[in-house]
Amino acid sequence: MKWSQLFTSSVGKKWVMALTGIFLILFLIVHVALNATIWANDGGKMFEAGAHFMGSNIVPRILEIGLIAGFLIHIIQGIMLELQNRSKRKRGYAANLGNRGSKWYSRSMGLLGTLILIFLIIHMAHFWVPNRSNQGWLLGPEISLYDEMREVFQQEWVVIVYVLGCFSLAWHLMHGFQSAFRTLGVSNKKYLTLLNSLGIGFSIIVPLVFALMPVSFYFGWIN
Ligand code: HEM
């Protein structure tokens, strides 16, 4: 495969989705681990220390540019793939196997991705935009993200949107996690079984821990 085919051929597009998807999975691990420090119940001290490092050190700030690029490429290429699949579907398959042919969530990656995108836009407006604009987009003073969370998660509709966003993420990952490794060529049956189990575990645990964050603030389990 030539470099130019990475963005034009079907296989190339799937490779881009897989590589950026795995990169975003790594980001989710760091994000959920850092945020889980809110349950230290120390008034947000540990969380603020981690958030301050991420927001003021030059290394994570440079990685942030890669993260934005990763999200954008994954979203744009995902839209292209979805459009391509739709035009194929319009022509129709000889036999529509429904759930016997594939799981509903593997056929709904575009819809689930769109729901996550809507969640992400709301999420960035809550935390990232106020923090970065306060910093003057460089390394200036940050806002207290812990206080911001405590305030934002008092609103019922916000908690509901976050829980639904995490639910969409869980289904998106349920297909995406193992699919990424298949695309990159993992074909050994033993590894595929392992990846499948790992994928299911990851898709349930990570979004569940994320969803418990707004819920914990809302019900006052942490303050
Ligand atoms: C549901 C619980 C979640 C909470 C409480 C939460 C909270 C936060 C906070 C406080 C920030 C820091 C903003 C800043 O650095 O200025 C942040 C950043 C971010 N979050 Fe979340 N988040 C959650 C879930 C998610 C999920 C599920 C995703 C992805 C699907 C996500 C994607 C991001 C991104 C892309 C950033 C920007 C990272 C950066 O600073 O470059 N978050 N989040």
* Residue-by-residue pLDDT tens, the chain, 223 positions: 666 666 677 788 899 999 999 999 999 999 999 999 999 989 999 999 999 999 888 999 999 999 999 999 999 999 988 888 888 766 655 556 566 667 888 888 999 999 999 999 999 999 999 998 888 766 778 899 999 999 999 999 999 999 999 999 999 999 999 999 999 998 889 999 999 999 999 999 999 999 999 999 999 999 8
The reply to whether 57 falls in a domain is: yes
Residues 50-80, buried b or exposed e (16+ Cβ, 10 A)?
A: bbeebbeeeeeeeeeeebeebbebbbebbee
The reply to whether 93 falls in a domain is: no
The reply to whether 98 falls in a domain is: no
Atom index in ligand 1 nearest the CA of residue 148 equals 10
How many distinct structural domains can be found in the chain?
1
The DSSP 8-state label assigned to residue 36 in this structure reads G
The CATH number linked to 158 is 1.20.1300.10
The reply to whether 28 falls in a domain is: yes
Quote the strand ranges of the chain, DSSP E.
none
Other residues' Cβ atoms within 10 Å of the Cβ of residue 2: 8
Residue whose CB lies within 8 A of the most ligand 1 atoms, among 123, 137, 147, 210, for a mutation test: 123
The reply to whether 118 falls in a domain is: yes
Looking at residue 142, its pLDDT comes to 84
Looking at residue 100, its pLDDT comes to 63
Phi then psi dihedrals of residue 219, to 5 deg: -85, 5
Ligand 1: lining residues by beta carbon, under 6 Å: 31, 35, 55, 64, 67, 116, 120, 123, 127-128, 131, 145, 149, 162, 166, 169, 210, 213-214
The reply to whether 44 falls in a domain is: yes
Question: Using CA atoms, how far apart are residues 83 and 119, in angstroms rounded to an integer?
Answer: 22
Looking at residue 101, its pLDDT comes to 63
Looking at residue 71, its pLDDT comes to 97
The reply to whether 99 falls in a domain is: no
The reply to whether 96 falls in a domain is: no
Residue ranges making up the domain that contains 158: 11-85+107-218
Looking at residue 82, its pLDDT comes to 86
pTM assigned to the model: 0.91
Phi then psi dihedrals of residue 8, to 5 deg: -115, -40
Tens of pLDDT along 91-120?
655 556 566 667 888 888 999 999 999 999
Closest residue by Cα to residue 178 from 32, 21, 13, 73: 21
